[in-house]
Amino acid sequence: MSDNLLPFTITADLLDTGMRGFPVSTVYTSEVDPGEGLHYVGYPIADLAHIDPEAAIYLLFYKKIPNKGELSKFKKELKKRAKVDKRVIKLITQLPKEGHPMEWLIAGLNFAGMLCKTGDYREDGLNVVAQMPEIVAAIYRTRSGWGKPIKSKPHLGLMENFVQMMGVPGADAEKLTKLMRVFYVLHMDHGGGNLSTFVGKAVASGKSDTYASLGAAMAGLYGPLHGRANQECLEFLEKAGTNDPDKIEQFIRDEFAAGRSIFGFGHAVLRAEDPRAGVQYALGRELCPNDPLFQRAEVMRERAVKVLKANPKVKNPYPNVDAVSGSLLRACGLADAEYYTVLFGLSRCSGIAAQIVDERLVHRNGKGVPIYRPSDIPVNQPHRHYKKRG
Ligand code: NMX
Ligand code: MLT
């Protein structure tokens, strides 16, 4: 643990800042360094971006990169855990199309909790990671009207099976698998203070089960300033309507002046370009260099930084994880931006589940972190007595 954060004094000016900078817990899975960005158990994310998603899951749960034997055993274990109760999938197929895919995901996790939970944080954490691809693929296919859910083949591998179960009409499955493997590894975890992880762990601290805690976490991820920024960012790129750098710059200026968010830029902790964005720009140059929307995102990378840098109130003018992910997903066949946050959630649930295991079963020599209960400062509430009138 870095000692320079402690002791931490909460002064009046730090209240009502969304707890910006408050150290609230110790975390074993990942770290977000303001300058260098995300590390999983000490490894920079850019070094890990192309490893097997299963190896990255193992790293977050067991705090070491698996050797060949450990990885093969772990893949077999995930395969065994991948079975989703048929009733969960049936319930998903009955959800109203009006609901946002994230609302479906929250419902899907709650259905899985009702029918699949064991109540053991370690068991449920690994089970949910293994089950998520089938749940998300069922959401995608049913709500998109692509047809009935496709049978799971977990021996293919986590993301390989996911792409197989999605059966995206017209998509190049090989290209999409390549993207989804990297996308999954990049989005798994981001320290303990990001909104969805914080919420998930807070709910679990009251001893709610993993599925219910992840459902609540996903409600946090659904917000446009958090995970749904990947959907908003794609729509923002479309709204720009041009690839001309000067016109894009003017568009960003106008949006900012109107008090609207410049999606895909800024961060509460990072103070440099998010390395997860860097990995995705590089991947885009490999997978879809001539895609017009990807090219637009590359122009944004330069011009949005220029505009935001000129506004001193913005603490970080650089691209974040959501700046370019949507244009890559679209170029690889996933056209509908409404689903992008569900893909973020598919991955993020693994990091949150691993952190829940640590907080519930490892911290304080296995006793776990007590129920979250920060305090607050009452304002404009002088103590008084109610007197019956008349
Ligand atoms: N567009 C417009 N305004 C911004 C942006 C941005 N990209 N970034 C910061 N600001 C504003 C912010 O709203 C605040 O304004 P005010 O003082 O009037 O309330 C001011 O600049 C200072 O904010 P910061 O301290 O720099 O950022 P903060 O920690 O409050 O918020 C974000 C962080 C990520 C919510 C913010 O940068 C943002 O809204 N970005 C756009 C949405 C986005 O891309 N979110 C994705 C984050 C990553 N994720 O996946 O979760
Ligand atoms: C995340 O990956 O959760 C986002 O970058 C937001 C955050 O860290 O606060």
Mark 322-358 as b/e (b = at least 16 C-beta within 10 Å): bbbbbbbbbbbbbeebebbbbbbbbbbbbbbbbbbbb
Closest atom of ligand 2 to CA, residue 32? 8
Task: Tell me, rounded to whole angstroms, the distance of Cα 282 from its chain centroid.
Answer: 20
Question: What is the rounded CA–CA span in Å between residue 40 and residue 37?
Answer: 10
Q: What DSSP designation does 265 have?
A: B
Question: What is the rounded CA–CA span in Å between residue 237 and residue 158?
Answer: 30
Return the biggest CA–CA distance within the chain.
81
Q: DSSP of 125-143, one letter per residue?
A: HHHHHHHHHHHHHHHHHHH
| Residue ranges in the chain whose pLDDT is less than 70 | 1-4
Residue 196 alpha carbon to ligand 2 centre in Å: 8
pLDDT at 6: 83
Catalytic residue numbers, as ranges: 226, 267, 322
364 lines ligand 1 (CB under 6 A): no
Token pair of 107, please? 């419902």
* Interval 130-158: pLDDT, tens: 999 999 999 999 999 999 999 999 999 99
Question: What is the rounded CA–CA span in Å between residue 125 and residue 211?
Answer: 8
* Interval 163-205: pLDDT, tens: 999 999 999 999 999 999 999 999 999 999 999 999 999 999 9
Residue 267 alpha carbon to ligand 2 centre in Å: 8
In 3D space, the residue among 270, 188, 202 whose CA is nearest the CA of residue 20 turns out to be 270
Question: What is the rounded CA–CA span in Å between residue 155 and residue 332?
Answer: 23
Which residues does 390 contact at the CB level (< 8 Å), separation at least 6? none
Q: Compute CA distances 98 → 11, 91, 103, 229, 307, whole Å.
A: 45, 15, 10, 20, 37
pLDDT at 336: 98
Q: Compute CA distances 133 → 126, 186, 282, whole Å.
A: 13, 16, 26
In 3D space, the residue among 163, 157, 101, 158 whose CA is nearest the CA of residue 137 turns out to be 163
20: left (phi over 0), alpha (psi -120 to 50) or beta: beta
Nearest residue (by CA) to ligand 1, atom 28, is 268
Asked if residues 92 and 135 have their Cβ atoms less than 8 Å apart, the reply is yes
Domains in the chain: ranges and CATH: 44-170+186-225+338-366 (1.10.580.10), 229-331 (1.10.230.10)
Residue 194 alpha carbon to ligand 2 centre in Å: 5
**Which ligand lies nearest to the CA atom of residue 227 in the structure?**
1
Residue 261 alpha carbon to ligand 1 centre in Å: 7
Asked if residues 217 and 272 have their Cβ atoms less than 8 Å apart, the reply is no
Closest atom of ligand 2 to CA, residue 191? 8
Which one of 274, 315, 342 would you pick to mutate in the ligand 1 pocket, going by the greatest count of ligand atoms within 8 A of its CB? 315
Q: pTM score, two decimals?
A: 0.97
Question: What is the rounded CA–CA span in Å between residue 37 and residue 247?
Answer: 31
pLDDT at 2: 56
Residue 51 alpha carbon to ligand 1 centre in Å: 31
Closest atom of ligand 1 to CA, residue 315? 26
Residue 341, classed as helix, strand or coil, is: helix
Q: Which residues form the pocket of ligand 2, taking CB atoms under 6 Å from any ligand atom?
A: 32, 190, 194, 267-269, 320-321
Which one of 40, 185, 226, 344 would you pick to mutate in the ligand 2 pocket, going by the greatest count of ligand atoms within 8 A of its CB? 226
191 lines ligand 1 (CB under 6 A): no
